[in-house]
């Protein structure tokens, strides 16, 4: 079974600065997908960014980018030019690429990000 570990329960960043959230995972599969979801106080689960394991290029979405290290099984999220609206809980998630598994997600325990002025 796959596991996802987020070792930072809480992080803090000043507005306009850069912060990196860590995520490691354990799997015996070679093909899979990784996601970062954001959960603001409204409780919505919002997809931030995704990475296909077979792609060496790190995914980027505006101010959000990942550092995907497949051999190290590491998938960190970098938020540049942090904004007050980035304050939320961030979850790392894993999904097998096996189409027979109905795309089940395995989540980490989350990192709460605070953004200060």
Partner 1 sequence: NAGVTQTPKFQVLKTGQSMTLQCAQDMNHNSMYWYRQDPGMGLRLIYYSASEGTTDKGEVPNGYNVSRLNKREFSLRLESAAPSQTSVYFCASSHGQLSNQPQHFGDGTRLSIL
Q: Is 91 in the site for partner 1 (CB under 8 A)?
A: yes
Please state, in angstroms and rounded to a whole number, the distance separating the CA atoms of residues 101 and 32. 11
CA distances from 39 to 47, 54, 60, 98 (A): 9, 27, 19, 27
Q: Is 44 in the site for partner 1 (CB under 8 A)?
A: yes
Each residue 46-85 as x (binds partner 1 by CB under 8 A) or -, in order, gives -x--x-x---------------------------------
At residue 85's C-alpha, the angle toward residues 82 and 91, to 5°, is 85
Q: Is 11 in the site for partner 1 (CB under 8 A)?
A: no
Size of the site for partner 1 (CB under 8 A): 27
């Amino acid at each position: 079974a796959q596991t996802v570990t987020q070792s930072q329960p809480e992080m803090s960043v000043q507005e306009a600065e850069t912060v990196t959230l860590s995520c490691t995972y354990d799997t015996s599969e070679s093909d899979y997908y990784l996601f970062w979801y954001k959960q603001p106080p409204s409780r919505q689960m919002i997809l931030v960014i995704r990475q296909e394991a077979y792609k060496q290029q790190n995914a980027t979405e505006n101010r959000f980018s990942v550092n995907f290290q497949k051999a190290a099984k590491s998938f960190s999220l970098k938020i540049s030019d942090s904004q007050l609206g980035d304050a939320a809980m961030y979850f790392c998630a894993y999904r097998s690429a096996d189409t027979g598994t109905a795309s089940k997600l395995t989540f980490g325990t989350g990192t709460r990000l605070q953004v200060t002025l």
